[in-house]
Structure 1
Amino acid sequence: MDDGYYSSDYESELCVKEDIVHFGATFNPIFFSVVVVLSLLGNILVLMILAKYENLRSLTNAFILNLAVSDLIFTAGLPFWAYYYVYGWNLGEPACKMVSFFFYVGFYSSGILLIMMTAHRYIAVVRPLSQLLSPTGFSSALASSFIWTLSALAATPALVFTKVLNQTHCDYEDDKWRLIGIYQQNILFSVTLLVFCFCYSQILWRLLRTPVRRRRHKTLKLIFTLVVVFFAGWAPYNGVIFVMSLSFGPAATADSAALSNLCQTHSKPLDYAFYITRLIAFAHCCLNPLFYVFVGVKYQNHLKRMLKHWDLGRDRFRSRSSRSSRHTVTSLTSGEEFSV
């Protein structure tokens, strides 16, 4: 796992970072706990709505389903992170590898899904007669297989080269693989940004020239919002980890005064920025379901139907319970209950 403050100067007398460690141990567990609860509730609800009311042969619905699964996979690692920042990593190396792997699978699958969702919407608007829009179950299964295979391959270095360091830190074993992990994230983010800019510039140009159906506008609005949320959450984090990567490698020779000044003016502020931007980025796994509800009118209607169905089911259960209680007779002599 990528930890900003676990650098070579962590234990140096010239750059004591106990305040940063305390900051992480205080805010990370609280924040991650809230994110986990919201993500589980929201994404499981999205899966229930899709399974109950939507056609999963549709590529758009298949993408949204996979995005919810991706968020849940990402969420599965957050309780371990919360534990990590309070007690250090004492859960063993296999757990270290798996939690790191889940983080990267969740990150890469989210980025790949948003690329494919944006490209699919571009084709639907600009090339509406394309065979790629065929709503077959095979297309959805093929796209899903591609997404998860590519995400797992991209996350494999974390599974292989992550180790427990100094009995308390879970991280890559050397700077080379740490840099590869950072630059892979930066590359995916950059590719997603390029696809987003190209596709939506073409889509907006097409919408200005020709009228389209209202339903297509709603789908476009939903996917556009999801992509914007992704960038707002992950752009600051990717910028910070890229700047941090520039400091990896052999430390430059300098006197104690210069090193102490560098710690106060560069290293510590960067570590705080890393913590804050990562908290924002990690919250993305619980935000997507909120936008399904507040932006996607179709999902609002599905949610209302589901809640109404639950209310009716609860009323029927109460009615049956009430009738059953009226038919229950208590023996006056033995005190035993029996139903008639």
Structure 2
Amino acid sequence: MEDITATTNEYNTDYILYQSDYCSKEYVARVGSIAIPIFFSIVIILSLIGNVMVLVILALYESLQSLTNIFILNLAVSDLMFTLGLPFWACSFIWGWIFGDAVCKGVNFVFFIGFYSSILFLMLMTIQRYVAVVYPLSDWETGQKFVFVPILAWVVSAAAAIPASVQSSVVSDPNDPNSLHCEPNSESDKFVVIYLQNFFFVSAFIVMAFCYIRILQTVFRTRAQRRHRTIKLIFCIVVVFFVSWAPYNIVIFLQLLSHHEIKAFLECNVSKHLDYALYVFKFLAFSHCCLNPVFYAFIGVKFRNHLKMILQKVFQRQRVTDHDQQRIATVQTQCSVL
């Protein structure tokens, strides 16, 4: 009897120590509540400036009969939709979710539409680039026969975003009932959302990798004068996409293993390291929405020239306004002297 009691007490002691160590993530949460809102604010500002500028340039100077410009337009819109969810997530890291259940579902829907459509339009732009280089006689670039493609991409994105919206609600923190979070209703719902994210990323990367390998093979066989510049651009696009999203998808997948009670991922230190890694790689992944304008728009010569024209007009108008104000001030001064 004494042996049983001693064994039970020892087990309970070990269990309590393990639980207190495992659940002690206050410092991790504090780091996230400070770092994530700051970083998200920077991403929001850069994304709004870059993507709105893309839309302005397309509206003023470019023709939307080109399929490339149609994809750039839709990519900018999807990145802006993705960006709209970031202020809500930033606020939730500071004060918890204070916006109610309806806003929780709506923000998830808009956010994930932006997320999935951004990946799809990056993939479609890659396919378009592949067809233009590998099959240069194709009429893909005209876009007249492929108007349905962007519409189909938005439909697929909306369908993929439905689970994240419908299966999310406002739940209270088990350790702090006063702290609310916008999260999936159950572990199985969370699995569906994460597996869907992983599926989209892996599928898109396989397609992009295949297309760019074939593009590079075609470019190396030709004697184009700007071959090295094209190779550098293609290399940057693939690397940025992979580096931005691959670590994030790997970490969220590894965190799922702890929910499947795999022993190695239940240890306190491993769990904390995964939380820190998730913060860092979430920063990297979510910043992709403000990098897209650079790599898919402003890196082009025409877009750079259009941007210069806009900036020149803005500064020229500002100089004219300052000059007029200075003349008015001078006239008022002379009148007051008289």
TM-score (norm 2): 0.83
* Paired amino acid for 1:120: Q
Q: Does 2:46 correspond to 1:22?
A: no
Shift of 1:107: 1.5
Separation in structure 2 between the aligned mates of residue 232 and residue 298 of structure 1, nearest angstrom: 27
What is the root-mean-square deviation of aligned Cα atoms in Å? Answer: 2.9
Q: Does 2:183 correspond to 1:171?
A: yes
Separation in structure 1 between the aligned mates of residue 305 and residue 229 of structure 2, nearest angstrom: 13
Separation in structure 1 between the aligned mates of residue 324 and residue 67 of structure 2, nearest angstrom: 42
- Structure 1 residues 220 and 208 mapped into 2: Cα distance closer, same or farther (>3 Å)? closer
Shift of 1:26: 1.3
Shift of 1:58: 0.9
Counterpart of 2:86 in structure 1 is 78
Query: % of aligned pairs identical?
Result: 46
Secondary structure of 1:170's aligned partner: strand
Separation in structure 2 between the aligned mates of residue 118 and residue 293 of structure 1, nearest angstrom: 14
Separation in structure 1 between the aligned mates of residue 166 and residue 234 of structure 2, nearest angstrom: 34
**How do 1:101-180 and structure 2 match up within 5 A?**
101-136=109-144, 139=146, 141-166=147-172, 168-180=180-192
Contact 1:121/1:220 (CA < 8 Å) preserved in 2? no
Shift of 1:293: 6.8
Separation in structure 2 between the aligned mates of residue 58 and residue 213 of structure 1, nearest angstrom: 24
TM-score (norm 1): 0.83
Shift of 1:20: 1.1
- Structure 1 residues 158 and 78 mapped into 2: Cα distance closer, same or farther (>3 Å)? same
Contact 2:54/2:297 (CA < 8 Å) preserved in 1? no
Shift of 1:142: 2.3
Contact 1:233/1:280 (CA < 8 Å) preserved in 2? yes
Which structure 1 residue ranges, 5 or more long, are not aligned? Answer: 1-8, 253-257, 333-340
Secondary structure of 1:247's aligned partner: helix
Contact 1:47/1:65 (CA < 8 Å) preserved in 2? yes
Deviations 1:76-104 (A, max 9, x none): 11111111011111211111112222221
Separation in structure 2 between the aligned mates of residue 182 and residue 204 of structure 1, nearest angstrom: 32
Shift of 1:289: 2.4
Counterpart of 1:232 in structure 2 is 243
Q: Number of matched residues? A: 313
**How do 1:258-297 and structure 2 match up within 5 A?**
262-292=266-296, 295-297=299-301
Task: Between 21-30 and 316-325, report the one with greater CA deviation.
Answer: 316-325
Contact 2:212/2:234 (CA < 8 Å) preserved in 1? no
* Paired amino acid for 1:155: A
Secondary structure of 2:169's aligned partner: strand
Q: Does 2:205 correspond to 1:193?
A: yes
Secondary structure of 1:165's aligned partner: strand
Counterpart of 1:337 in structure 2 is none
Which structure 2 residue ranges, 5 or more long, are not aligned? Answer: 1-15, 173-178
Contact 1:88/1:168 (CA < 8 Å) preserved in 2? yes
* Paired amino acid for 1:86: I
Bigger RCO (CA 8 Å, 6+ sep): 1
Shift of 1:206: 0.9
Contact 2:36/2:93 (CA < 8 Å) preserved in 1? yes
